[in-house]
Structure 1
Amino acid sequence: MSLAIAFVTETFPPEVNGVAMTIGRLVGGLRDRGHLISVIRPRQDKADNGGEHELALPGLPLPGYPGLRFGMPAGRRLTSQWRQNRPDLVHVVTEGPLGWSAVSVARKLGIPVTSGFHTNFDRYSVHYGMGWMRPALSAYLRTLHRRTLATMVPTAALAAEMAGEGLTGVRVVGRGVDTELYDPARRSAALRQRWGVEGEGPVCLYVGRVAAEKNLALVEKAFAAIQVWHPQAKMVWVGDGPSARQLAVDHPDHHFAGMRTGEDLAAHYASADLFLFPSLTETYGNVVAEAMASGLPVIAYRSAAAAELIVAEKNGMVASPGDERAYVDGALWMLDDPEHLAAMAKAARQTMLPRNWAGVVEVFERVAREAMAGRA
């Protein structure tokens, strides 16, 4: 039996970030399985009136995140909308004012409501001079999720962490990766030439938001150490954010590619030799999965996706969270033996081949039906 599900989210394609990409995949996959999916989100610009089965509501720019918006409280509008077209389930993706009002309205109308945990906003606050707000933000996030029937998370480690904080109904849904798009076959000699690569490189790559919460100082430190042993190494940054301009000033020898999407982004992954992922604030980190699917070995801290996907010295390398010395040593070790690096590249690709989005969509549907049955 098909379901009518209302997704409430602050971000959605064509916006470029991990949450938007994930929700776009879930919505598309559920529609392919015959479900009626509506999306309620903030307007992305003044001319945005929403697409088919989309309701675009007023929003404001998210502080520190140009290009992203958070939704305003919309209790009356949601009440009217869902009385006219009652969904079988409301799924709240993000925890802003719009998400909170969606949970409240769904509970008031007796509509089953679930949630997703995608972003550690409480941890981000430390990097924007608002560390004093972290306890309050953490309490707010947990309170919202306690008001829903199930909270869907990407990894078992995060599920255990949230359960340890007293949340019930935490379920692992996982994340997929498009292994047809992210493919080692997209490696491009012409692209490497544009980067100014001499000989075999190596090329080190970072993909993601160029911002303080991503711990980018560790990328700088690791690449500086790599250059000592590999003077021809090249550092390529893909993405944009508030730290991009200063990084470009500090490192005129690095290549800053800006925002890339689709096949262009896939070619950037496949054309590099080592992926540097330094973040400690991720709930998952889609870029780790995309890099590995592209045959690109990853050095990362043992957390989020990296903890779940990387087998040390087999398909990548991990360091204990916060151990910068081990992180840098791991990067150097990976580049020390080209044959071993090539073997890890092949193993990384093989790791990701079974992790498709179709399986994730099936799990989401199963958790949603279980939550609705429990409510009944």
Structure 2
Amino acid sequence: MPHALASDGLLIDHFPAAQRSLRIAFVSETYPPEVNGVATTVARIVQGMHARHHEVQLIRPRQDRLDAAARQARYDEVLLRSLPIPRYPDLRMGVPSKRALVQLWSRRRPDVVHIATEGALGWSALQAALHLKLPVCSDFRTNFHAYSTHYGLGWLRKPIMGYLRKFHNRCACTMVPTDALRRELQADGFQKLTVVSRGVDTELFHPSRRSAALRESWGLNEQDLLVGYVGRLAQEKNLGTLLTAFEALRRDMPRALLLLVGDGPMRAELQARCPDALFAGQRRGEDLAAHYASVDLFLFPSLTETFGNVTTEAMASGLPLVAFDHAAAAQLVHSGHNGLLAAAGDVDAFVAASRLLAGDAEQRQRLGRAAFATAQALGWDGVLARFEGVLHGVITAAERSAEAEFGGLARPAA
């Protein structure tokens, strides 16, 4: 099989077009109808692997009332015990389940186990896969170690990072969405990293979804400025900077309105600080796409993303955006061409960029058109092919290792 080894000597980067169908056990602690970037991305990859004729077994926590509406007969779903997540009543987390997974995979061995999240269920899956000598790879999708500083628990950063490093270094490889994150984690002692980016649904998220009726329902005409944010309403999203920027630009444009799409524990606090903001709650599908496209300026102040799907969704919707030079924005936004970037953590620069675009409709339109053009090259086909190729590389490496071990054992003594 033609291949090229990565710097760690393990991962295979180039593959022939035709590859064998795989049995993939995909483990995730979040999945739609939960609304978050990890759930959305995991679902797209699971469905994409199924569409590419692989046998997918999805293992996730039971979501009780959500499951009846969510489950469809597309692939095998294994629902395991779960517990509610504090402060997020609609979300649940997995519990230790090694024994159940060992039994499950002993009856029918997958070719590879892929773990999307590092919680109790993910750790159980890792232990079960290692116990059964199954090839296993993982995703690094959430900066849990960075979240600790936003909840007065900065002292937890080192132990959390230690756990994550131990988790991922026991996998055959860990997929990360950007090269910047790969370098950052490598400096922290993470090994066997490979970049698999993320795509965006350019048919769903599109400027044509803009809705005059929706804007009218908010009391806006086409000349009024609507500033948008999409994401969890939580401390780790740096929403204080969002409000600071909006309050500054509103002094220049008193009729401007702020739309927040999403929910979370900070909602009441944000409503108290900005009582006339539009709180749309969680939105999905075409409704979410219409909310994006009906915005005039998108602000995304988060500094804790591993990628930030909302960045690409906003760009595909044709929105000019202001973000920090971080995660997906650092990779995709060329400041002054298809958006504006502020240096990571520079609140004054973020506020200044927001005021600049708020007051310049012509520049907003120019940046929005360029953002849309950038997003058109971010479809899912290439991402799925890359993901599929990495799985094949992990399996091939495991097979060669097993052959070498077996060969050594089988060789007669001299």
Relative to the length of structure 2, the TM-score reads 0.88
| 1:227 alignment counterpart | 250
1:2-41 alignment to 2 at 5 Å?
2-41=21-60
| 2:325 alignment counterpart | 302
Answer with 222-231 or 125-134: which moved more. 125-134
Unaligned runs of 5+ in 2: 1-19, 400-414
Q: 1:236 offset after TM fit, Å?
A: 0.7
Answer whether contact 1:198 1:232 (CA < 8 A) is retained.
no
In structure 2, relative to structure 1, the CA distance for the partners of 1:199 and 1:181 (3 Å cut) is closer
| 1:261 alignment counterpart | 284
Per-residue CA deviations over 1:131-183 (Å, capped at 9, x if unaligned) read 22221111101110000001001111111111222222101110000011000
In structure 2, relative to structure 1, the CA distance for the partners of 1:247 and 1:65 (3 Å cut) is same
| 1:117 alignment counterpart | 140
Answer with 143-152 or 66-75: which moved more. 66-75
Taking the aligned partners of 2:175 and 2:121, their CA distance within structure 1 comes to: 18
Matched position secondary structure for 1:158: helix
1:66 aligns with 2:89: yes
> Max radius of gyration: which structure?
2
Answer with 58-67 or 311-320: which moved more. 58-67
Q: 1:251 offset after TM fit, Å?
A: 1.8
Task: Return the letter of the residue paired with 2:176.
Answer: V
Answer whether contact 2:46 2:56 (CA < 8 A) is retained.
yes
Answer with 34-43 or 59-68: which moved more. 59-68
| 2:61 alignment counterpart | 42
Matched position secondary structure for 1:213: helix
Taking the aligned partners of 2:150 and 2:90, their CA distance within structure 1 comes to: 19
Per-residue CA deviations over 1:98-132 (Å, capped at 9, x if unaligned) read 11111111111110000001101111122233322
1:318 aligns with 2:337: no
Taking the aligned partners of 2:64 and 2:102, their CA distance within structure 1 comes to: 24
Q: 1:200 offset after TM fit, Å?
A: 1.0
Matched position secondary structure for 2:260: strand
**CA-based RMSD:** 1.4
| 2:17 alignment counterpart | none
| 1:195 alignment counterpart | 218
Matched position secondary structure for 1:197: coil
| 1:177 alignment counterpart | 200
Q: 1:51 offset after TM fit, Å?
A: 5.5
Task: Return the letter of the residue paired with 2:325.
Answer: R
Q: 1:67 offset after TM fit, Å?
A: 2.0
Answer with 120-129 or 313-322: which moved more. 120-129
In structure 2, relative to structure 1, the CA distance for the partners of 1:42 and 1:292 (3 Å cut) is same
Answer whether contact 2:33 2:66 (CA < 8 A) is retained.
no
Task: Return the letter of the residue paired with 2:265.
Answer: P
1:338 aligns with 2:357: no
In structure 2, relative to structure 1, the CA distance for the partners of 1:257 and 1:43 (3 Å cut) is same
Taking the aligned partners of 1:283 and 1:219, their CA distance within structure 2 comes to: 19
Matched position secondary structure for 2:351: helix
1:259-298 alignment to 2 at 5 Å?
259-298=282-321
Taking the aligned partners of 1:170 and 1:57, their CA distance within structure 2 comes to: 29
Matched position secondary structure for 1:284: coil
Per-residue CA deviations over 1:307-346 (Å, capped at 9, x if unaligned) read 0111101110110111000000111122232111111110
Taking the aligned partners of 2:222 and 2:321, their CA distance within structure 1 comes to: 22
Matched position secondary structure for 2:64: coil
Unaligned runs of 5+ in 1: none
| 2:101 alignment counterpart | 78
| 2:393 alignment counterpart | 370
Q: 1:47 offset after TM fit, Å?
A: 7.9
Answer whether contact 2:61 2:81 (CA < 8 A) is retained.
yes
Taking the aligned partners of 2:333 and 2:67, their CA distance within structure 1 comes to: 40
Answer whether contact 1:197 1:233 (CA < 8 A) is retained.
no
In structure 2, relative to structure 1, the CA distance for the partners of 1:255 and 1:137 (3 Å cut) is same
| 1:204 alignment counterpart | 227
Task: Return the letter of the residue paired with 1:102.
Answer: A
Answer whether contact 2:150 2:235 (CA < 8 A) is retained.
yes
Q: 1:246 offset after TM fit, Å?
A: 2.2
Task: Return the letter of the residue paired with 1:298.
Answer: L
Matched position secondary structure for 1:37: strand
Identical-pair percentage: 50
Q: 1:48 offset after TM fit, Å?
A: 4.4
Matched position secondary structure for 2:322: strand
Taking the aligned partners of 1:21 and 1:102, their CA distance within structure 2 comes to: 21
Answer whether contact 1:297 1:341 (CA < 8 A) is retained.
yes
Q: 1:46 offset after TM fit, Å?
A: 6.2
Answer whether contact 2:30 2:60 (CA < 8 A) is retained.
yes
